[in-house]
Every structure is written in structure tokens, then in C-alpha cells.
Amino acid sequence: MHESQFEKTLSDICRFFDTECNTAEWFAQAYVSWYRGKSEVNLEGVESLDRSNLSLFFKMLQLRKMPGWRDSRLYETERYAIDLFDL
């Protein structure tokens, strides 16, 4: 059985968080903002993403449209970002 696009994208996002670089922290803030829809993030940080992470950012925006998406997994990823970066 292969990993779904939804699960692969979340795995890729968490791997990027694990780099703990400045752009990863910004991405984590953007993820939390996207997931909650309440907090604001300065989109200027998009300019700091390299091509592959910019692609990952756009995939993140589509997560809720991917087949088999689950809010519980989105929430787990949000908690991971919050705990990792003390957001």
C-alpha cells in the first residue's frame, strides 16, 4: 500500500519543520495560521522559500482538498509545529 498524497505532504511538511531553520519556523507559523484561520502571518516569508519548499507551501494550501484528508492529522501536525517552535 502506498502513502496517500495527503500523508506524503504532511510528512514532507514535518520533515521541513525538523530542519529548524528560519524558513522552517516561518512555514510552521504559516501552517498554524492556515489551519486555524485566525492568526496572521506575514506572507513576505514566502520569498525566502526555495523552489521545493514553495511548492510544498502551495500543497499545504490544498491539503483539505486532497482525497482522504483528515482533520485529526492536520491537528497533529499543527501541535507538532507549535511544540517544536514554541509558537
CB 84 within 8 A of CB 76: no
CB 68 within 8 A of CB 6: yes
CB 68 within 8 A of CB 8: no
Tell me: pLDDT of 35 over 70: yes
Measured between alpha carbons, how far is 70 from 35 in angstroms, rounded to an integer? 12
Residue 17 binned pLDDT confidence (cut-offs 50, 70, 90): very high
CB 56 within 8 A of CB 9: yes
pTM of the model: 0.93
Predicted local distance difference test score (pLDDT) of residue 38:
80
Predicted local distance difference test score (pLDDT) of residue 9:
98
Measured between alpha carbons, how far is 44 from 18 in angstroms, rounded to an integer? 21
Residue 46 binned pLDDT confidence (cut-offs 50, 70, 90): very high
Report, as an integer, the average pLDDT of 26-49: 92
Predicted local distance difference test score (pLDDT) of residue 1:
59
